[in-house]
Structure 1
Amino acid sequence: MHILRAVVVGAGAIAGLHLRTLAASERTELVGVADISGERARLAAEAYSIKPYTDYRAMVRAEKPDIVVITLPHVLHKEAAIWCAEQGCHVLLEKPMAMNARECADINAAAARCGIVLAVGHMQHYFAENVKAKQLIQSGKLGRLVTIIDRRYGYYFDEKRPAWFLDKETSGGGIVINIGSHSIDKIQWLTDCQITSVKAELTFYGERGDVEGSASLLMRTSHGATASVSLFGYRGVPPANETELLFTDGALKIVARKGLWISGANGYELVDTGAKGEPFAPQWDDLLNAIGQGSELSITGTYAQTVSAVVDAAYRSHETGRAEEVAVI
């Protein structure tokens, strides 16, 4: 078995999950972590007995990894991904892929030019309840999809959230680009559709920063179904993360990390989704299989660009006050 060398760029909260996954993989040798904060890099490196760096370019040159996992502020995704691709490294890029779809297109072009495998961390594809829901949808037993309702509530302006998330210049936006991209991805992937238009209304009532803290999105899909997404990030509201899909012959309800329900004679009935676990390991295996065996990735850069295009349309819609078509770049 060929062991691939891997490094992680960025040592924030999400990096810890990637580091743990890479360290546990029998197909990977974790060899380095980089962060502009020497202390963060040191602490992350000590946990896995690897070398810390404060410059990711120096790390890549020294360690010569096969794969680079990028977990940087969104504004740095394009630069880092293209540079790593030019060094011949395969790339796993955290979501959102970039600040906008135009940047995504530039990254995709670089990946194609350099002949590397590029994956993007849209985790919805690997949760057990989502995988089972997609199987049920594809079976056709529920009939024609009519509408989707997705809601995600959670305090967005928590003091623990790094300041760059709340600065539009470094994040690209607030709850839509960061949390809403999960909803957009989930809708498209579950139903094998493209979102074609968006009508969005945003609010900006956060205690910190200049980004939106709530959003109401009304979308139309390529299959003709509608989808509504409610994102709410102000304090005092109970958290929620659920998706309901209504068909001509039934319905599904997904509650993240809790389960999947299908409509029955007496209301919703719990569905057995099999083994549950963190989605990072199957995501990593997906990338390794694409590199080693040439298998098809679940989340390519081309697909992730479509998610960013919907986010772009949502922001345009808020500015224009009308529904906006999703642009194809």
Structure 2
Amino acid sequence: MLDKGDLRVAVLGAGAIANEHFDAVQATEGLAACAVVDIDYAKANEVANFYEIKAYTDYRLMIQTEKPDVVAIALPHFLHKETAVFAAEHGCHLMLEKPMALSVLECDEIIEAGRKADIRILVGHTQHYMAENIHAKKIIQSGELGKLVMIHDIRHTNYFEDSRPQWFVEKAKSGGGILANLGTHSIDKIQWLTDSTVRQIKASISYYGSRGNVEGSGIIYLETVEGIPATIVQSGYLGASRNETEIIFTEGMLKLVTGESLWMSRGDSYKKLETVITAAPFELQYSDLLTAIRNHSETSCSPEYGRSVLAALEAVYRSAESGLEQVVY
């Protein structure tokens, strides 16, 4: 139910993640859902009926008709820039799924459109809002395990499974394979945990996927501007699934299983820590965006930050192609 003063939110894309957006909107006081857009009207209508909102197949018509205050973009990556710029030009604040766009140049176009329209943009790097990640960052900042020495992040999953939509494995539409989709989560996690950005990268990748023309694995060595080294190892081929980040200090270690658990070792075996969950990650994102809109301030996951993740990803691909270490710019 829309109350006077609520900001109206529309979501572009009626895929599985649309429900997470609308559930978070419903749970956030001060926001109300108004519309959903998808080129597949049946999908859009199903979501619209469930949330009692309007369904559209044309995002331009929806924005011009509904005039939403906030547009959430949950579309294939190649559509992010086009839709974000149009929405910004019509005065809509943006909740923009990651990766922000296909390239740094596209990020710059979105940033400029947002600046001209004086709107707030939050790039949906959910790593910032996961309870276990927040807990891990507090431990890093506390210094209780000594000096942070290095980070090792590992992610294995069957990336080419039949259930993954085809656009994910077409480079022109996705921007890349497992590293563009999941590797950006890892780059973001490392940057956010260390309050730093990546300054240099050396990477090697492989292309043995069962379909498409994107990479299926990669190993990355990087250093942040603060001099913290980290490795990212990801495989999208068959094998045991893993999603773990080891954070290594001078006086102990953390093992972060994002979305599941956080463990600590002070020289003995890992022991599970109790983590307090205050709200779902998507709810925290929308609360963040709403606060920025009301205060006319920057979101905690700004478009400039989203651009930094794409800059690092581009350095990954340059390094893999050249065989040389690359500076991030």
What do residues 71-112 of structure 1 show as CA deviations (whole Å, max 9, x unaligned)? Answer: 111111111101100000000110000001111111111111
Residue in 2 aligned with 1:271? 273
- Per-residue deviation at 1:292? 1.2
Q: How does 1:1-329 map to 2 (within 5 A)?
A: 2-235=5-238, 237-275=239-277, 278-327=280-329
Range with bigger deviation, 316-325 or 294-303: 294-303
Runs of 4+ aligned residues of structure 1 deviating over 3 Å after TM superposition are: none
* 2-structure distance, mates of 1:295, 1:143: 34
- Per-residue deviation at 1:296? 4.2
What do residues 40-91 of structure 1 show as CA deviations (whole Å, max 9, x unaligned)? Answer: 1111111111110000110111111100000111111111101100000000
TM-score by length of 1: 0.96
Letter in 2 for 1:248: T
TM-score by length of 2: 0.96
What do residues 246-288 of structure 1 show as CA deviations (whole Å, max 9, x unaligned)? Answer: 1122211101222111222532222222126531111111111
- Per-residue deviation at 1:145? 1.7
CA contact (8 A) 2:120 2:298 kept: no
* 1-structure distance, mates of 2:277, 2:80: 33
CA contact (8 A) 2:315 2:328 kept: yes
The alignment's C-alpha RMSD in Å is 1.3
* 2-structure distance, mates of 1:62, 1:101: 31
- Per-residue deviation at 1:150? 0.1
CA contact (8 A) 1:23 1:48 kept: no
CA contact (8 A) 2:288 2:299 kept: yes
Letter in 2 for 1:199: K
CA contact (8 A) 1:73 1:170 kept: yes
CA contact (8 A) 1:33 1:52 kept: yes
* Runs of at least 5 residues in structure 1 that lack an aligned partner in the other structure: none
* 2-structure distance, mates of 1:166, 1:312: 17
Letter in 2 for 1:324: Q
- Per-residue deviation at 1:155? 0.7
User: Structure 1 pair 59/99, CA: closer, same or farther in 2 (3 Å)?
Assistant: same
Letter in 2 for 1:69: A
CA contact (8 A) 2:128 2:192 kept: yes
State the percentage of identical aligned residues. 47
* 1-structure distance, mates of 2:278, 2:160: 30
* 2-structure distance, mates of 1:323, 1:277: 40
CA contact (8 A) 2:246 2:253 kept: yes
Instruction: State the number of aligned residues.
Output: 326
Letter in 1 for 2:244: E
